[in-house]
Structure 1
């Protein structure tokens, strides 16, 4: 074999430039960059050194041959012409990886099969022995890349990907690969900082990947020193003496590095479930003397080893995939920025984020940004000098008041140096405070602790914002397709930044959901599973809401006037609540002295919730909860009621009901069945929130029908008169 080889090194997309620089430093010559790869020339010693020392590469491929091919036969012939007896025993094992297409190769499986057949046929001996296939731990891993009609046939010297260092057997939900973490550290200037004796802290360390990679860089530990099996271990071209020399040199360098006084490297993680896995990873890497991991929240993060120590704060905040993540992530970034300004003055910071718009909300400027890819997700690395001239801070208005009361004169607080609201955010905050001032007196007078304080008053901020005692529930209406998604996202972040300040609510008590057109029962389906209920009150009735687990909260705020009307009219009456949801109207009827209440719904979950609402108010014996399809239940019912309330869904289907309910199509049959259950002189209240709904005109020929929509809107819904429509119906 030749003394010099063509080598390909693959890497994650975006790391090509860094890998080329690293590879040159390790001896690779004539380096050229490709997409997710570099190539160059080197001797065997450099090839081994790249395997051992590359922190950024995935694989080191030694090119055996290049040849042109027009079809599958050319592929077979080109591979078969190689002297495979120089590389693999006839009784050995191999695995083949194939990438690319064209030249008659339609899929990679077929291409790999052709390559395998060519190798096996070449090595089959007179005794009939031939190599076997072992995809996990083969003696030889062969790679063929087809590119524009040229086949590049290589041996994979690395075996398993080089990012698999061996220390991280336990990981969190979305960990960074080790080589990507190393690249982020290098871009962040950690080698320079470490050489100066600087410290490193990660306030969201997960299972410690940044920490371990940083310590290995600082202690001069080859990233793959502990790997026992390589792609060249059973290769016949392997030179063991040369490998042992390089490995012994790397081992000596690591021992010398670890003998030096350890740098101050600390990780903090809020999730207690990740603490021990992180510590286990550190111990497997042999770096327990260098790295310590503690449980801690970002809001209380304070890295200072001592007042004079400086260094690098590095983190990879979560990206957010669940309902309501926008709010929690915005406040996470705001808290991170606040802690950097307060506790890390004159440090450097590196924030690796899949949501760079959120990075702008930290209240501190980045002086440099780098584009990366985390798998298929585009990311940015924000580099920050934590110095006062980089801070973006300002005054925050903090109205001191009790919930529901009129705000006092705003006071200025600069102690925590909050991020200044944008012009749009301040305008939005002003509107919220104005609405709160107007509605606060009314809510206090009416003993209401949950009400809507904003409902898309400003079209560019398409949100509905409800107060539930000391919680804020935010619903983001889906933006029209004509709106630039980036602008819509920026406005959402402006609004979320303004809400805690304007309403004087802790950030942790803001819940956001996205409301779009729902099909079937989707709006009633579970979105989360926190199971956290909050008690609110209206008109002397206590009710339970859940702000996190479902799109709706268990209480339709716009129906408050209807519930209060039912409470006033229920005394001594038998009350029927159809499509009862969590039976809040039934609880009001019981509060008003109803003789009995019957509540019907298809959902066991919501009937259980209704039972809790009754129990919370001390009601039980007279209140029936019936699970069933309302239409079928009415057809079977023979009882009479003096007061009936129906608020059906626009559309509903379920495995437990017959057919599909459509309020426009089925409301006549529904009302006929319900009016038949009215006692003489009884009243039926019917409402729904389908914007295009039209009450059938023939109903007025049979019944006394009065639209009462205007009478069922409280001041908090005066801005949205189309939130629902309501009618009062009696038999003639």
Structure 2
């Protein structure tokens, strides 16, 4: 062990999530720092080593505590190496010890973090080997010394990580749920919401959507004066040659004494959630944190939330933000329900709502008196604070009406009148056609005006709106404003209730991503298409279960299927199978790799009274199934995706590459006089007629494009194929 560092102030830097810096600065000053200077992503501070040790043990908001060694020139990797090698590493690391290097930032000549970290490691190792003949090794998980390097322009800041790992890892999280809130961010939100003062006055705390229980546990740590780092077993300072074990033990002993004394001050803290998985995770984490029996955990619906015993305190909640497709309408109702519960039962309480979608916060019917921005990872979020008092209550319906009127006025002034006029024009023409043909599901608008890049499909008295990803040349704010205009004018223009509009964002899909679940509504809507009754789902998947552009194709299959055995390959939700069955097919076989969609196909068949053994559902990779298929079919429908790479497949499917094999194998299953209808929606697809020259092929694409897709005649291609003569 080398000599201890002097008692004079030393330079440090504590990192923190963006937005937390003022809270961290206040913490460090309270812990004895002589100065604290905020910057983006952290706080520089000075003090003796004891202050840095206290920051490791006691900071509730920091990520890391760094002892700043030096700043060295780093115009290139060689200069960085030389600057690092010149530092006295023998004072900090034993030659037989272990190290790890965390490297961030970049310079003009150092753009790869792994290479930068390698050169820093080389500088340290080469110096120690030159001095002692021995060299340290690398341990990325629990090294004796973790070195932190941050490069900005041509300068590298070299520091020793005294924490050794991110301080948000308290050690109590043994179970988790999706997208958990980091512990130090949760603590920062509690501090900003005034929890320490409320707890000191005996007020309780409720988190009605507790997830894995982070708010409740951090609130208990604050209320009982327990150092958040007290139960961590490894620290970055342990292997540092200038570490002072006696000082560290003294500070840990002090922290344990304060925690023991504070245990009696634990107020009523309640964590509940409607999801039993969240409740199980919270119970496990509460026990691991040492608060079993002190924090009350239960499964409870939001509508049944009740105040904990004792004086009014704090309700803190981090509800979903609505990032996934189709969640917005359901979340509007959730936020409104939260507001109704608070106004009915939590008079006098303080409320802190942390959300990445502040607009949803307005659904609560409460006026926020504070709003502060924090980053949850890369996502900017707001902490909205409310007092549950009549003076803060908002007439939600009146506010919604005024907001709608103002937004509509802005939308029309901003250019949405052109979009409205095109909608009305399309409704006049397509509406009459749909009524005449008995069609209730059709495309009403498809990016007719490029500035309003959405598709609007009508499903009875519902609308399905898909926003196309904007080109990179369109600013994100502009695209968001235009989408807001679209969603504002649609209800009035088309006479549809706002809650009957499902919004999704469509971008270029890869593999089976178009079939991936996007939400969890589980709501199905029954629609009619000619003689068929079909189930669609407007929320849970990118597509609804019914490809509207194939309406004419399905009707054709219904006419051709009479008296024939019908095979539907890549059957999806079985809409084509239903038409074939209703058209008089003797049997139907539907093949698809997705169990979800085959179940959907079975429900569609049952809905139409076609649930007998004559209608077979086969879960299989179609390309592989065709290789070994037996039997003969009078009519086959082959509508493969453009590309698929499902993990359940043995390989990949590329319709351009594989279509000849698919068609050949399908034609081999045709009975004499049988027909294959082949279709796909690959915009650049070219049928290899030379490789299929012995077959009779008729391009029927033009005749299968319905009027509502006339503006987009390449929405799909379709061929009628027979074995030839």
Q: TM-score, normalised by structure 2?
A: 0.71
- What's 2:382 paired with? 380
Asked if structure 1 preserves the Cα contact closer than 8 Å seen for 2:679 and 2:716, the reply is yes
1:179 is the counterpart of 2:169: no
Q: CA deviation at 1:524?
A: 6.1
SS at the partner of 2:178?
coil
Return the alpha-carbon distance in structure 1 between the equivalents of residues 93 and 172 of structure 2: 30
- What's 1:31 paired with? 36
Return the alpha-carbon distance in structure 2 between the equivalents of residues 657 and 156 of structure 1: 46
Return the alpha-carbon distance in structure 1 between the equivalents of residues 653 and 246 of structure 2: 77
1:114 is the counterpart of 2:123: yes
Q: CA deviation at 1:216?
A: 1.5
Return the alpha-carbon distance in structure 2 between the equivalents of residues 554 and 613 of structure 1: 10
- Greater CA deviation, 244-253 or 603-612? 603-612
Q: CA deviation at 1:26?
A: 1.3
- What's 1:287 paired with? 291
SS at the partner of 2:383?
strand
Q: Structure 1's 707 and 66: CA in aligned 2 closer, same or farther, altered over 3 A?
A: closer
Q: CA deviation at 1:277?
A: 2.2
Q: Which of 284, 287, 308 is equivalent to 1:305?
A: 308
What whole-Å deviation, never above 9, does each CA across 1:77-125 have from its counterpart, x for those lacking one? 3325x6x2xx5666x6242435466699761221122123324544x3x
Q: Which of 13, 26, 39 is equivalent to 1:9?
A: 13
Q: How does 1:95-244 map to 2 (within 5 A)?
A: 95-97=99-101, 99=103, 107-119=116-128, 121-122=130-131, 124=132, 134-143=139-148, 154-233=159-238, 235=240, 237-244=242-249
Asked if structure 2 preserves the Cα contact closer than 8 Å seen for 1:71 and 1:103, the reply is no
Asked if structure 2 preserves the Cα contact closer than 8 Å seen for 1:202 and 1:268, the reply is yes
Q: Which of 498, 501, 504 is equivalent to 1:513?
A: 504
Q: CA deviation at 1:725?
A: 10
SS at the partner of 1:294?
strand
- What's 1:366 paired with? 368
Return the alpha-carbon distance in structure 1 between the equivalents of residues 103 and 718 of structure 2: 64
Q: CA deviation at 1:151?
A: 6.4
Asked if structure 1 preserves the Cα contact closer than 8 Å seen for 2:329 and 2:499, the reply is no
Asked if structure 1 preserves the Cα contact closer than 8 Å seen for 2:356 and 2:379, the reply is yes
- What's 1:406 paired with? none
Q: Structure 1's 478 and 388: CA in aligned 2 closer, same or farther, altered over 3 A?
A: farther
Q: Structure 1's 364 and 479: CA in aligned 2 closer, same or farther, altered over 3 A?
A: farther
Return the alpha-carbon distance in structure 2 between the equivalents of residues 58 and 620 of structure 1: 62
Q: How does 1:520-559 map to 2 (within 5 A)?
A: 525-527=515-517, 534=524, 536=526, 538=528, 541-545=532-536, 550-557=541-548
Q: Structure 1's 729 and 246: CA in aligned 2 closer, same or farther, altered over 3 A?
A: closer
Q: Which of 258, 263, 266 is equivalent to 2:267?
A: 263
Return the alpha-carbon distance in structure 1 between the equivalents of residues 134 and 556 of structure 2: 90
Asked if structure 2 preserves the Cα contact closer than 8 Å seen for 1:576 and 1:598, the reply is yes
Q: CA deviation at 1:23?
A: 0.9
- Greater CA deviation, 682-691 or 103-112? 682-691
Return the alpha-carbon distance in structure 1 between the equivalents of residues 720 and 362 of structure 2: 53
Q: How does 1:405-554 map to 2 (within 5 A)?
A: 421=404, 423-424=406-407, 451=441, 455=445, 462-467=454-459, 474-479=465-470, 485-486=476-477, 488-489=479-480, 512-516=503-507, 525-527=515-517, 534=524, 536=526, 538=528, 541-545=532-536, 550-554=541-545
- What's 2:81 paired with? 72
Return the alpha-carbon distance in structure 2 between the equivalents of residues 577 and 136 of structure 1: 53
What whole-Å deviation, never above 9, does each CA across 1:307-330 have from its counterpart, x for those lacking one? x84322222233455443445445
SS at the partner of 1:210?
helix
Return the alpha-carbon distance in structure 1 between the equivalents of residues 189 and 51 of structure 2: 25
Asked if structure 1 preserves the Cα contact closer than 8 Å seen for 2:569 and 2:640, the reply is no
Return the alpha-carbon distance in structure 1 between the equivalents of residues 215 and 229 of structure 2: 16
SS at the partner of 1:222?
coil
Q: TM-score, normalised by structure 1?
A: 0.71
- What's 1:273 paired with? 277
What whole-Å deviation, never above 9, does each CA across 1:174-194 have from its counterpart, x for those lacking one? 222222221122222222322
Q: CA deviation at 1:484?
A: 5.1
Return the alpha-carbon distance in structure 2 between the equivalents of residues 490 and 103 of structure 1: 37
Q: Structure 1's 628 and 199: CA in aligned 2 closer, same or farther, altered over 3 A?
A: closer
- What's 2:693 paired with? none
Return the alpha-carbon distance in structure 1 between the equivalents of residues 240 and 686 of structure 2: 79
Q: Structure 1's 78 and 393: CA in aligned 2 closer, same or farther, altered over 3 A?
A: same
Q: Structure 1's 73 and 466: CA in aligned 2 closer, same or farther, altered over 3 A?
A: same
- What's 1:395 paired with? 397
Q: CA deviation at 1:29?
A: 0.8
Q: Which of 352, 355, 374 is equivalent to 1:353?
A: 355
Q: Which has the larger radius of gyration?
A: 1
- Greater CA deviation, 361-370 or 544-553? 544-553
Q: CA deviation at 1:275?
A: 1.6
Q: Which of 54, 58, 67 is equivalent to 1:53?
A: 58
What whole-Å deviation, never above 9, does each CA across 1:152-181 have from its counterpart, x for those lacking one? 655443333332222223322322222222
Q: CA deviation at 1:513?
A: 3.4
Q: Structure 1's 487 and 302: CA in aligned 2 closer, same or farther, altered over 3 A?
A: farther
Return the alpha-carbon distance in structure 2 between the equivalents of residues 586 and 170 of structure 1: 45
Q: CA deviation at 1:286?
A: 2.3
Unaligned runs of 5+ in 1: 397-413, 697-701
Q: Structure 1's 140 and 653: CA in aligned 2 closer, same or farther, altered over 3 A?
A: closer
Q: CA deviation at 1:238?
A: 4.2
Return the alpha-carbon distance in structure 1 between the equivalents of residues 643 and 262 of structure 2: 67
Asked if structure 1 preserves the Cα contact closer than 8 Å seen for 2:518 and 2:542, the reply is no
What whole-Å deviation, never above 9, does each CA across 1:173-232 have from its counterpart, x for those lacking one? 322222222112222222232233322222222111111112221222222223344334
Asked if structure 2 preserves the Cα contact closer than 8 Å seen for 1:266 and 1:291, the reply is yes
SS at the partner of 1:201?
strand
1:253 is the counterpart of 2:258: yes
What whole-Å deviation, never above 9, does each CA across 1:588-635 have from its counterpart, x for those lacking one? 3443545x36668776866776566445523646668899989x99xx
Q: Structure 1's 566 and 548: CA in aligned 2 closer, same or farther, altered over 3 A?
A: same
1:584 is the counterpart of 2:603: no
Q: Structure 1's 348 and 687: CA in aligned 2 closer, same or farther, altered over 3 A?
A: same
- Greater CA deviation, 55-64 or 178-187? 55-64
Q: CA deviation at 1:279?
A: 1.7
Q: How does 1:661-676 map to 2 (within 5 A)?
A: none
- What's 1:403 paired with? none
- What's 1:699 paired with? none
SS at the partner of 1:60?
strand
- What's 2:694 paired with? none
Q: Structure 1's 564 and 480: CA in aligned 2 closer, same or farther, altered over 3 A?
A: same
Return the alpha-carbon distance in structure 2 between the equivalents of residues 381 and 659 of structure 1: 47
Q: Structure 1's 293 and 489: CA in aligned 2 closer, same or farther, altered over 3 A?
A: farther
